[in-house]
Amino acid sequence: MLSYRIPSERVKAWLAKAKQAIVGDDDGSKDGAGPGPSRRRYLIAALALLGWFLLFTWLSGPTVVQLGYSGFKTAVEQDLIARVTFKGDAISGRFVEDRPDDAEEAGVIEAFRPGVRFESTMPRVDDPQLLPLLERRGVEIFAESPDTGAWGRMLMSLVPWILILGAFLYISWRMQQRMMGGGGGGGAQGGILGFGKSKAKRFREQDTQTTLDDVAGLPNAKADLAEIIDHLSDPRRFRSVGATMPKGVLLVGPPGTGKTMLARAVAGEAGVPFYSISGSEFVEMFVGVGASRVRDLFDAAKKEAPCVIFIDEIDAVGRTRGAGVGGGHDEREQTLNQILSEMDGFTPQQDIIVLAATNRPDVLDQALLRPGRFDRKVHLELPGRDARREILAVHAKKIVLGDDVDLDLLAARTVGFSGADLQNLVNEAALLAGRERRDAVDMSLFDAARDKLVLGAERDRGIGDEERRMVAYHECGHALLAWLLPNADALDKVTVIPRGRALGATEQLPEEERRTFTESYLKDRIGVMLGGRIAEQLVFGEVTNGAQADLSHATELARRMVCRWGMSEAIGPVALKRGDEHVFLGREMAQSPDYSDATAKLIDDEVKRLISGIEDRARELMQGHRDALETIVDALLEAETLGREDVEELLRGQGEAADSDRRAAASR
C-alpha cells in the first residue's frame, strides 16, 4: 500500500470553500443576503477548520512505501536500497536517491521512490542469505533493540501508580461532594486536603434572621440566655467590671423542644456569625480526622470572634470516656479530647460561645460539664398550656384559619406535645384541608389531625360484628371507669374505629397539667387501665388478648409506686432501682438490681396485691353500673365515636348514683 501527499493548493481550496459555506462572505452575510452569522455558526466554523487541519496534517505526513519481503530482497539485488534498519521482525530503511540504469523489475520500479523511506517485515523462517546479500550490495546495516528504551520502561512502571493516584483523587472528590458539601468553617474543602476540614455550616450575620420572638413558649430558657446575648452584643461592658462569660452553655431537653432554634436565636439576637454542626459529623472511620475537624472549626471561629458555635447532639461525641471498646485511643475519644483542649484554650478576649444540645445529659463525660467548659445548663421542658398556645399561634400564621378555630381549646387538648409536635399538628391539619379541597383549616380538621397523631390513622380492618361488639365493651369499660372514678382524668373520646394497630381507643384529657401525682390519682389511673378487661369478664365470662398493653402499663406503674415512690406499706419509704433510668424516655438499662432476692419476691407480691385490690374495687363499681355500660355500648356501636358530651348525656340519669359511688371510692 502506498500513501501519498495531497497538494497544498488543493487543501487551501477546500478550506476556503468550507469557510464560505459555513461562515459566509466577508461582509458578514451568507450568499450576500441576510444577517451575519450567529455565535453558534462561528463555533461550527472553528470546529470545521480544526477538523480540516488535523486531516491535512495526517495526509501530508511523511510518505512511507510498504514492501513485501520478496520485493525487499529484489530491491536489494538491484541496488535500490541505501540503508536498512532491523528492529525485531520489522525492517525499515531508505531508497537510494537515484535509480540505477539497470533496474528492470517492473514491481520494484513502480514502488521505487528516490530517497523515500520503506517498511517491510521479516518472515518467521530465518533467512541466512540476507546479511551476506546486504554486505555484497554495499547497504548500510543498522540494528535497534525492540525494547521501548529507558524512557519507555520508566513510563510503563509509572502507569499503575498514575492509575491508582487518579482513582484515589476521584474517590476523594466524590467524598467531598457527598460529605463536605454545604460550606465549612475553616476554608476550602477540596478533595484530599479538605478531608480533615470542618463540615460546620457557617451563617453570616445577615443570614441568621431567627430571633427570640420566633421562639415561643420558652420564657425560662430565654431569660437564662439573655445574659449570653448581652455579652456577645457588647463584650466591653462585661470586661470593664472584670467579668468573664461562660465558655459553654448546654441546652438539655426532650426532643422537639426547640434547642436548635434557640441556639440560632442567640446568634440572631446578638448579630454575630453562627457555626452549626452535628456531633456525629466529627467522627469518621479514620483516626485523627475528627480532631482535625475540631481544630479547623475553632480556628475559623477565633478569626471571626465574637461568634457562636453550636454542636447539636453532642452526646454522639461527648460520651463518657473509657466506657466503650477501644479504651482511650479510638476516634471518638480523641475527638472529645480535642474539644476539651480547644475549650480550655479560650481566652476571655476571644468572645466565643459554644452552645451544645442533647437529650441525654446522663451519658456525657464529666470533663465536659465542669466549670470552664460547659459552665451552664439550660433546661428546656415540654411546653405548658400557655406556651402551647403561643407556639400554635406562631405556626398558625402560615395557614388560613377558619372562624371556629379556638387555639386555647386546642392547647388544652395537646397535653404532652412538644414544639415540634405542635408544628406537625398544624401542618397535618393544613394537609387535610388541601386533601379535602377546603378554603380554610377549621377546628374539625385540627381534631382529625390530633387524633391521627395520637391514636394513628384510621384503618379499615374489616372486623366482624361479634369482634366489633367485644371491642366496644372493652373500650366502654375504660370510658365508664374514667367517668366514675373521682381522681381519674376526664373522659374525652371513645371510639371503635380501628386506628393504627388498635381496634379501638379511649382517650382521656386532664383538666390541668400534672407534675406531681398523688397515690389516689395513680390508683384510679390503674383502675381505668383495667376497665376494659373487667368489662370483658362481666359480659363474656372470659378475657381476650386486647388487654395486653393495658396490663403492661398498669404493672409498670404499680412497680414504680412500690419501688420508686414509697407507696407501699410492706416495702416502706425506700427507693429500689433495677438499673439506671433514661432521663427522658423512661427506659431502664440492663443492670443487676440493687436489692436481694427476698426483697424482689416481696416487691412482686406487693405489686400483685396492689393491682388485684384496685381491680376488685373497679369490678365492684362496674357491676353497680352495668346498665350504664350497656347504654354506652349501644350508642357506641351505632355512632362509632362518642365524645365527652355524648357520654355525659347518656349517663345524666345516673348522676346521683354515680356521685355516691365516687364518694365511696374516694373514701377508700
Question: Which one, of 417, 463, 279, lies nearest residue 354 by Cα?
Answer: 279
Q: Kindly state the greatest CA–CA separation across the chain.
A: 145
Question: Which one, of 142, 84, 94, lies nearest residue 115 by Cα?
Answer: 94
From 475, 536, 606, 615, active-site residue = 475
In total, the chain counts a number of residues equal to: 668
C-alpha to C-alpha distance for 478 and 488, rounded to whole angstroms: 11
HEC-encoded secondary structure of 597-626 = HHHHHHHHHHHHHHHHHHHHHHHHHHHCCH
Grid cell in block for residue 450: 390530633
Question: Which one, of 630, 615, 632, 622, lies nearest residue 657 by Cα?
Answer: 622
CA angle 80, 84, 88 (to 5 degrees): 140
CA angle 454, 458, 463 (to 5 degrees): 125
Considering Cα of 69, then 73, then 74, then 76, what sign does the dihedral take?
positive
Asked if 62 contacts 115 with a C-beta cutoff of 8 angstroms, the reply is: no
Question: Which one, of 156, 84, 151, 79, lies nearest residue 117 by Cα?
Answer: 84
C-alpha to C-alpha distance for 362 and 383, rounded to whole angstroms: 22
Asked if 568 contacts 562 with a C-beta cutoff of 8 angstroms, the reply is: yes
Asked if 75 contacts 108 with a C-beta cutoff of 8 angstroms, the reply is: yes
- H-helix or E-strand containing 335? helix 331-344
The upper half-sphere exposure of residue 589, i.e. CA atoms within 13 Å in the direction of its Cβ, equals 8
Asked if 412 contacts 387 with a C-beta cutoff of 8 angstroms, the reply is: no
Question: Which one, of 301, 44, 346, 79, lies nearest residue 184 by Cα?
Answer: 301
Asked if 403 contacts 419 with a C-beta cutoff of 8 angstroms, the reply is: no
Grid cell in block for residue 276: 452549626
Question: Which one, of 304, 302, 618, lies nearest residue 477 by Cα?
Answer: 618
The upper half-sphere exposure of residue 280, i.e. CA atoms within 13 Å in the direction of its Cβ, equals 3
Asked if 522 contacts 613 with a C-beta cutoff of 8 angstroms, the reply is: no
**513 annotated active-site:** no
Q: Which positions ≥6 away from 142 have C-beta within 8 Å?
A: 83, 84, 85, 86
Asked if 294 contacts 338 with a C-beta cutoff of 8 angstroms, the reply is: yes
For residue 593, is the peptide bond before it cis, meaning its omega torsion is within 30 degrees of 0?
A: no
Question: Which one, of 574, 549, 547, lies nearest residue 561 by Cα?
Answer: 574
C-alpha to C-alpha distance for 58 and 64, rounded to whole angstroms: 13
| DSSP single-letter state for residue 94 | E
Grid cell in block for residue 296: 479547623
Neighbours of 34 (CB within 10 A): 10
C-alpha to C-alpha distance for 291 and 323, rounded to whole angstroms: 19
> Which residues are catalytic, by number?
475
